[in-house]
Structure 1
Amino acid sequence: MRSIMIAVFALFFLSACERPANIQTLRGYAQGTTYTVKFWTDKATDNTALKQAIDKELARIDKLMSNYRDDSAIERFNRNQTARQAIAVDKEILAVLRISAEVYQKSQHCYDPTIKPLLQIWGFSDDKLRIPDEKTIAATLKNIGFNQLQRGADHIVKSRGELTVDLSAIGQGYAVAKIARLLEQQQINHYLVEIGGEMLVAGTKPNDKKWQVGVERPVPNKQIVNEVITLTGKRPTAIMTSGTYRHYFDDNGKQYSHILDPRSGKPVEHNSVAVTVLLDDATYADAWSTALLCLGADKGLPIADKHHIPAIFYTMEGKQLRRRPNQTATQQGDYWQIAQ
């Protein structure tokens, strides 16, 4: 009887020791949207202090890069209309613009952070549709073009004083990456960081269970999971989706997408309604999802493969939604599996 009791006690003790850590969840508001951070660790954590650190970091990034607050560093730069002279710029903004420059070139200029004036003349900045005439578009295009900004080690030179920079298509990805880095500095290596639907996932759940992420079906006025991505945990993976199906204007039956082609100055008209990018770098993934959606599937698929960007395009062909992954996405099964 005593040996049985010892065995039972030992089994209980081992079970208690091997009980998996719980997934912790922190939520909050930042950058005009919500964020969720899920993580687990075997080490003790002060969740209150961790959330304060996350909120502080997001507020700091917002003060640097938000195009929706007049006191941000990027908006102060935009108001400075000095041309052909060095304008001091924060090193983090310059780091983001270095990534922007790379995606700008590789996407054939479809991703362009100087696009802000186009968003304004079409009414996407204040959600009031205005259909500009060709003359207005042509005049605005003079102030569009990332190649009109010369970047130095600590400054930018504008070729035209009216040039502005909009970081909204890359800033959330950067913020996601910074929060992931903050977690890793706390020795938290298993996590899911999400800001406004943009996310980065690393490691696994407790007991080596896999993180799973649902990708929404890209149709308006519905929230239906289209497919589920299971992350293997072999590397961090950012999952970034851009779509035309939520933010658009309808004028007499004609839809105008908020995705503007900075080369033509007009909304895109191809049949690609969404694109999901999966990369280990959240900042690049955010920029590339916008770039590829601007290009559309026909032009974007070969460009994504050329530059080794795993991407899944969704196109409307008649009334049917078609899924079009590129070769790079289908060849990286070591990092994820996708169930439709």
Structure 2
Amino acid sequence: MKRIPGTNKRTQILLGFLLVWMGCSSPRDIIIISGQTMGTTYSIKIIHVGLFEAQKKIEQGIDSILTEVNRKMSTWDSNSEISRFNQNQTDSPIPVSPEFFQVVNMAQAISRKTNGAFDVTVFDLMSLWGFGPNPKSGMPTHEEIEKVLSFTGYEKIMIDKKSLIKQHPSTKLDLNAIAKGYGVDKVFQFLLSKGFTDLFVEIGGEVQCSGRNQRNKYWSIGIENPSGGNKPDRMFAAIVYSDGGAVATSGNYRNFVNINGEIHGHTINPNTGYPIQTNVLSVTVLSNSCMVADAWATALMVMDYETGLKKVTENPDIKAVWILDKKDGSRRVARSVGAKIDDSIYEIIR
């Protein structure tokens, strides 16, 4: 899927693919700004009272933020900051922008907490399995995987004040598993700074919201029902109702490749170099930061459910919801302590 630098926006009075349940109260005014960014779509809902005269400036501000995130973090743009970093093979400190540093610094912190299950040095590993801007064709050999693993791993990137140091000249970064969440946070904070309090910001399914929706109800966020299974006609597996916070979901059913007749999901275990093989179909993470939720959702997809639950329990800044596959084709939903969902179409086991 080709990443699209910049944005192509349109304003509409329609809701996106996420559910907003309607009550019986009179609807408030809503402005919806949507478009494309980071190879996916975005939808921003702003509830307001009275005349909304600054819409053009708000749209321009959002456009500027998303364009800048792409300019710094898109591996599909050969002139982006991350592409220039990947092309740099020096072992000296590489100065980076404050925004780039912030994202990589957070990524490294989560890598340490997850024992490398989350790792942004996987650019060449993803390419080897047919993903990214330079996908290889065919099934990678064990030797090819071992070679790439020799220069990947979060330990290969060191933080030095406001610079980054490569421990191997061939190490390359891929921020796709955290950049969308970062973009959501940036847009959300921009809108808060403009005085809006009832907000819903979504990029590629990653969400940050506050306040109430058009009907003065909690925002409702659908957890997508993974394809397949015994309830293929149901779009959502469950609903998260929220008046504030971030929600991000990761699942192998969204992005995969066919290699010699074998289907492989895009979640690669950074430690082994191979696609994951667990009964976890998707993980939804709740946090105060969408950047944090985005990264943790990817990390938890790499782990089996029991390991992931232990990690979530050890980190009080996140909660999680798992959709698990059973051998008979049925599914179950599991939750960490404090994770609240409604209208689950599957059995909840905890």
TM-score normalised by structure 2 residue count:
0.84
Shift in Å, 1:36 = 0.7
- State the 4+ residue runs in structure 1 displaced beyond 6 angstroms: none
2:112 matched to 1:92? Answer: no
Matched AA of 2:216: D
Gap regions ≥5 residues in structure 2: 1-24, 345-350
1:250-269 matches, cutoff 5 A: 250-251=258-259, 254-269=262-277
Name the CA distance, whole Å, in 1 between partners of 2:233 and 2:126: 26
Shift in Å, 1:120 = 1.0
Distance 1:324 1:141, change over 3 A: same
Higher helix fraction: Structure 1 or Structure 2? Answer: 1
Name the CA distance, whole Å, in 1 between partners of 2:283 and 2:137: 24
Q: Which residue of structure 2 aligns with residue 325 of structure 1?
A: 335
Q: Deviations over 1:36-74 (max 9, x none)?
A: 100112364311221111111100111011111011111
TM-score normalised by structure 1 residue count:
0.87
Q: Which SS does the other structure have where 1:40 is aligned? A: strand
Distance 1:184 1:240, change over 3 A: same
Q: Which SS does the other structure have where 2:177 is aligned? A: coil
Distance 1:62 1:250, change over 3 A: closer
Shift in Å, 1:339 = 2.2
Q: Which SS does the other structure have where 1:208 is aligned? A: coil
Name the CA distance, whole Å, in 1 between partners of 2:31 and 2:234: 25
1:30–1:55 Cα contact (<8 Å) kept? no
Q: Which residue of structure 2 aligns with residue 80 of structure 1?
A: 88
Name the CA distance, whole Å, in 1 between partners of 2:322 and 2:142: 30
Distance 1:144 1:27, change over 3 A: same
Paired residues, number: 313
User: Which of 222, 226, 250 is residue 237 of structure 2 equivalent to?
Assistant: 226
Name the CA distance, whole Å, in 2 between partners of 1:254 and 1:301: 30
**Structure having the higher Rg:** 1
Shift in Å, 1:256 = 1.8
2:139–2:259 Cα contact (<8 Å) kept? no
Q: Deviations over 1:7-27 (max 9, x none)?
A: xxxxxxxxxxx9763121111
Query: Which region of structure 1 is more displaced relative to structure 2, 18-27 or 41-50?
Result: 18-27
Q: Deviations over 1:259-283 (max 9, x none)?
A: 0001001000111111000111111
Shift in Å, 1:316 = 1.1
1:301-316 matches, cutoff 5 A: 301-308=309-316, 309-316=318-325
Distance 1:222 1:82, change over 3 A: farther
1:264-279 matches, cutoff 5 A: 264-279=272-287
Matched AA of 1:324: A
2:221 matched to 1:213? Answer: yes
Matched AA of 1:321: R
RMSD of equivalent CA atoms = 2.0
Q: Which SS does the other structure have where 2:176 is aligned? A: coil
Gap regions ≥5 residues in structure 1: 1-17
Shift in Å, 1:206 = 4.6
2:246 matched to 1:238? Answer: yes
1:129–1:249 Cα contact (<8 Å) kept? no
Q: Percent of aligned pairs with the same residue?
A: 29
Matched AA of 1:104: S
1:56-205 matches, cutoff 5 A: 56-83=64-91, 85-125=92-132, 129-205=137-213
User: Which of 27, 37, 55 is residue 44 of structure 2 equivalent to?
Assistant: 37
Shift in Å, 1:207 = 6.0
Name the CA distance, whole Å, in 2 between partners of 1:222 and 1:147: 44
Name the CA distance, whole Å, in 1 between partners of 2:214 and 2:260: 53
Distance 1:137 1:20, change over 3 A: closer
Q: Deviations over 1:80-100 (max 9, x none)?
A: 0112x1111111111111211
